[in-house]
């Protein structure tokens, strides 16, 4: 059986993985869902200084504090930046990294660097107290490219009720750790975009996909929206379970 550490994307806490964690545990796996500082039930711990380094430390602390080894580190969406940094810090404890509708950033590139000018303007207009990036509405998520395919209106209401603002520093601080994690086995699971899209982004030199050409990479597809842990949780669990067979 495997040890999974699950890292949520923007605005989400460890609770987002409940639908995936239950079947994984039922299959006998050891599962640990991280809640990052400033989010979920740790929202009160966020400050203007909360950044990628903070979230890297959260993941590293869970892995080392619980003495976890041979970890399959799973990151959704924006959680990929901190997951890559953490993997670089504790590479000897990581069996592989799984990017769920996500991907790593090259060292020196920040999440906000990928946004077009209108995207940056949107983020800046939705900051509370200058550092808390409020969750967009579902309609805005679609406009920003985060497909809601597979989510019912009830799903959307339940998820939105538990979302918390994202610390702005996690968008503006540059990624680190990609070089240290470079040789680890990695899998990209495409959900809201196709593998053909991925290949096009790789060939086009996109900052999130340009480095995905090495032999350490595997590509899989799980067609749904950008929120697969909610729209297809059992299928996500089954896919992760298949890595251990």
- Measured in Å, how far apart are the chain's first and last C-alpha atoms? 9
Token pair in block for residue 58: 């959260």
Partnered with residue 174 across adjacent β-strands are 110
pTM of the model: 0.95
For position 245, what pLDDT does the model report? Answer: 65
Sketch the domain layout of the chain as residue ranges. Answer: 3-242
In order, the DSSP letters of 94-122 are: EEEEEEES--PPPTT-BGGGGS-HHHHHH
Superfamily of domain 3-242: Alpha/Beta hydrolase fold, catalytic domain (3.40.50.1820)
Distance CA 14, CA 27 (A): 20
Token pair in block for residue 190: 């495409």
Among 31-35, 62-66, 104-108, 124-128, where is mean pLDDT lowest?
A: 104-108
- The answer to whether 191 and 101 have CB atoms below 8 angstroms apart is yes
- pLDDT tens, position by position, 75-99: 999 999 999 999 999 999 999 999 9
- pLDDT tens, position by position, 38-47: 999 999 999 9
In order, the DSSP letters of 166-228 are: EETHHHHSBP--TTTTTTS-EEEEESSS-HHHHHHHHHTT-TTTTTTTSTTEEEEE--S-S-H
- pLDDT bin (cut points 50, 70, 90) of residue 103 is confident
- pLDDT tens, position by position, 132-151: 999 999 999 999 989 999 99
- pLDDT bin (cut points 50, 70, 90) of residue 212 is confident
Q: How large is the average pLDDT for residues 50-71? A: 98
Please check the confidence at residue 112 and state whether its pLDDT lies above 70. Answer: yes
pLDDT averaged over every residue in the chain: 94
Distance CA 109, CA 207 (A): 8
Please check the confidence at residue 178 and state whether its pLDDT lies above 90. Answer: no
């Amino acid at each position: 059986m495997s040890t999974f550490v699950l890292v949520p994307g923007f605005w989400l806490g460890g609770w987002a993985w409940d639908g995936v964690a239950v079947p994984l545990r039922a299959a006998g796996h050891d599962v640990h869902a991280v809640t990052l500082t400033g989010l979920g039930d740790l929202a009160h711990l966020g400050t203007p200084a909360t950044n990628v380094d903070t979230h890297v430390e959260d993941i590293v602390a869970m892995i080392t504090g619980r003495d976890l080894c041979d970890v399959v580190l799973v990151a959704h969406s924006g959680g990929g930046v901190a997951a890559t940094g953490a993997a670089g810090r504790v590479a000897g404890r990581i069996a592989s990294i799984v990017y769920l509708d996500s991907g790593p950033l090259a060292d020196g590139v920040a999440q906000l660097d990928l946004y077009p000018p209108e995207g940056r303007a949107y983020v800046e207009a939705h900051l509370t107290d200058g550092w808390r990036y409020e969750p967009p509405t579902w309609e805005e998520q679609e406009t920003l490219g985060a497909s809601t395919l597979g989510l019912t209106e009830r799903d959307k209401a339940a998820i939105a009720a538990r979302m918390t603002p994202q610390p702005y520093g996690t968008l503006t601080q540059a990624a680190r750790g990609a070089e240290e994690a470079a040789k680890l086995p990695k899998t990209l699971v495409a959900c809201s975009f196709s593998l053909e899209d991925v290949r096009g982004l790789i060939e086009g030199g996109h900052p999130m996909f340009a480095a995905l050409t090495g032999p350490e990479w595997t590509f899989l597809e799980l067609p749904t929206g950008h929120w697969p842990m909610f729209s297809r949780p059992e299928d996500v669990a089954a896919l992760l379970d298949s890595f251990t067979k």
